[in-house]
A and B are shown apart, each in its own frame.
Chain A
């Protein structure tokens, strides 16, 4: 039985999500953004909501997300994605609105918008990619950077007395009454990726059921910013990131 015969007569068990466009992503090799894009496209397709889904793209590495997933998109000013999503979800209550933000967008410049959108319980899905660094601008320290982690602006490692502590934004959002589902997942292994897909599906289902704000934090890698190969970056994520950002549901109402 040759490979060609299996391809011709076998069952297709995994195919490229229909909603991913043909454009080749601009992400670095091994970047977690590509995996999450794929999962979002799969989930929207499986739920059959592509004609009433509106995404809000951030500023950051995912700024061109609208080129890669074939649904309606709006590009927000830096950090303002939850505010735009609020407007869309209020004007079109039957649409499923999601934001796709990195840690520089959501946890730094957009903290106020994020917290207040979640506190108002807007019916949106917030997808938060946490890679502990400002990837697009060249690997500077982010609010989520771990203590001791070397970045372009903390060449000797982040120090608490000078740079403060890493912020666990999902834990903060979980305390707000407006959120219905807050979870932290990762995409560094096959098993973790499957769990992330289930979490994204639940978040989109919450939005379809008008239950409130759902937050899916995805602990991701940044091979270029961390100066590691994709494989080593995933190992580093497993060893260091998950200690500070443990995986699992933080809130599930």
Chain B
């Protein structure tokens, strides 16, 4: 059965830490940095559970700052 895996890249310095991508993510992949901040002092988003990502792009669609890009690939399993 084919399995879909995804990954996102986040432009950390554009991110304003609004949390909307974390809310939109259906698979609990994303999270805001609990302590670390970017150049402008925002707690930026990162992939907490990279294995969960299915590349649905929900996070990227709701991101107001366009800092998320999404990749997806289909794995063939025997």
- A-side residues, CB < 8 A to B, are 1-3, 6-7, 9-17, 20, 24-25, 27-35, 38, 187, 189-190, 193-194, 223, 229-231, 234
Contact = CB atoms under 8 A, between A and B. Distances in A.
Contacts of B75: 1
B11 to A, nearest CB: 8
A30 B63 CA distance: 8
A24 B65 contact: yes
Interface in B50-78: 50, 53, 55, 57-58, 60-73, 75
Nearest to A32: B64
A90 B20 CA distance: 41
5 nearest A-B pairs in the assembled complex, by CB-CB distance: A34-B64, A30-B18, A10-B73, A29-B16, A29-B18
B18 A13 contact: no
B5 A24 contact: no
A11 B72 CA distance: 5
A13 B16 contact: no
Interface residues of B, number: 35
A101 to B, nearest CB: 18
Contacts of A193: 61-62
Contact of A189 (B6, B62, B64): B62
B24 interface: yes
A230 B18 contact: yes
Contacts of A38: 63-64, 66
A30 B71 contact: no
Contact of A6 (B14, B16, B68, B73): B73
B19 A7 contact: no
Nearest to A41: B66
A196 to B, nearest CB: 10
A234 B20 CA distance: 9
B31 interface: no
Given A16-B67, A20-B66, A25-B64, 17 more contacts: A3-B47, A7-B9, A9-B73, A10-B5, A12-B69, A13-B71, A16-B66, A16-B69, A27-B64, A28-B16, A29-B16, A29-B42, A32-B64, A189-B62, A193-B62, A223-B18, A231-B19
11 contacts: A1-B73, A3-B7, A10-B72, A12-B70, A12-B71, A14-B70, A24-B14, A29-B16, A29-B42, A32-B64, A189-B62
B68 A230 contact: no
B71 A229 contact: no
A10 B7 CA distance: 9
